[in-house]
Amino acid sequence: MRHARFAIAAVAACTALTGVAACGGSGNGSSSSTASGAYTFWDPYPQFDGSSAWSKLVASCGTKAGVTVKRTAYDTTDLGNKALLAAQQGNAPDVMLVDNPVVSTLEQAGILNKMSDIGVSTTSIQANIIGAGTLDGSSYGVPIGANTLALYYNKNVLDAAHVDPASIKDWASLTTALKSVKAAGKKGITFSAIGTEEGSFQFLPWFWGAKGDLTHLDNADGQAALSLWKDWLSQGLAPNDVLINTQTTSWQEFATGQFAFGENGTWQLGNAKKAGFPYGVISIPARTGGPAPAPTGGEFVTVPVQKDTARYKTSAKIVSCLTDNANLLATDTTLSYIAPTSVVQDQQVTANPELKPWKAAVAAARGRTSDGLGVRYPVISEQLWTAVQAALSGGKSPASALKAAQSAADSHKG
């Protein structure tokens, strides 16, 4: 989930996660070519032009497969919608890179091939990462990497408050630390609770860290997580503007140097180094201790259904090239992702020890559409962020907000 691009697309229930790559304008795309020597490739990276390392990699994988690849970049939301339309018109791209929650939507629409059917192996991929693109035991894409959330901390602020980040093991110790920081004249924690997918994405580690269940939003565990956030705002340990913060504006708050903690993702590592103060990273703690499961962000390389099935052999070669170990290492380094395989993860940490806590965070993470949720997730997520907004704004208690959310989610079943 990179920069701040989490959004749920209403059209055709196409889900998009604002984060893994920067948001941008639509590309000047065209439909799939039927020429045997030209293969079309769509991705959600409009920030990478033809001179970029990513664009050159895509082209080189086509060359290795004996074809020319025509790459088109769209904004994430546009990509999901255009994929559905193109499939209906019979001109879907040969290969498509999509945000991981979109996979289940496209699969349900009958647009994607199973990786096993076209001969692409996914056995080396970490189970919790591939899970976001797995439905009924079959994988419909290969992840190029993953990112997730953790807590950045400002060492200067913690030192002034006499707080050791290693002492933060659970919610109680984190809240104690925030109170110490406030008493020392600084600010506690900033995060994004905006009424979009970004708000759900940021709330999920706390929700799951309390053992919350997305199919039962209103149980006591979910209420505990929402009460935690509500209490932080009520006590002045988190600012009220979390209600309108995107992940980008939340980061900008943390970067002022006044906050002890900022919940954000791997994609902010480059900005952290430019912040002008010493920082560190710890896992988001679960309610009773240990790292909380955070949601995975990242994209999957997929192969849309084609009338000419003979094209799949070459498409599979392109997918395999983009996701081989050497290319994963280069791509994930460029995107500040954690690789989806243990072999490449180890290479990343060896090259950059600062990625060690992120490797652990990704290991504990889970896909938002995993656990059989699939296309139900967008509906549930919308009700979840609505409940968070209602509770934090004071419109409803955490219990009543989540009860209303569960009722609304149930009304969408079927």
- Pairing relation of β-strands 149-154 and 279-282? antiparallel
Q: What is the DSSP string of 129-180?
A: HHGGGEETTEE--EES-BB-EEEEEEHHHHHHTT--GGG--SHHHHHHHHHH
Which residue stretches of the chain have pLDDT < 50?
A: 2-35
φ, ψ of residue 339 in degrees (nearest 5): -65, 155
What is the residue whose two structure tokens read 């968070």?
A: 388
- From CA 104, how far away is CA 369, in angstroms rounded? 7
| Distance (Å) of CA 261 to CA 116, 175, 251, 386 | 43, 11, 10, 24
Q: What is the DSSP string of 74-111?
A: --HHHHHHHHHHHHHHT---SEEEEETTHHHHHHHTT-
55-76 per-position pLDDT tens digit: 999 999 999 999 999 999 998 8
What integer pLDDT is reported at residue 36 of this predicted model? 58
- From CA 125, how far away is CA 368, in angstroms rounded? 17
Angle (CA) 148 358 255, round 5°:
75
What integer pLDDT is reported at residue 87 of this predicted model? 87
- Pairing relation of β-strands 149-154 and 134-135? unpaired
What integer pLDDT is reported at residue 76 of this predicted model? 80
What integer pLDDT is reported at residue 191 of this predicted model? 98
- From CA 3, how far away is CA 198, in angstroms rounded? 10
Strands (E), 274-397: 279-282, 299-302
- From CA 51, how far away is CA 46, in angstroms rounded? 12
Instruction: Please give the domain boundaries of the chain with CATH numbers for all domains.
Output: 7-147+297-364 (3.40.190.10), 149-294+373-411 (3.40.190.10)
What integer pLDDT is reported at residue 334 of this predicted model? 83
79-125 per-position pLDDT tens digit: 988 999 998 898 999 999 999 988 998 998 999 999 999 999 999 99
φ, ψ of residue 213 in degrees (nearest 5): -120, 120
What integer pLDDT is reported at residue 41 of this predicted model? 98
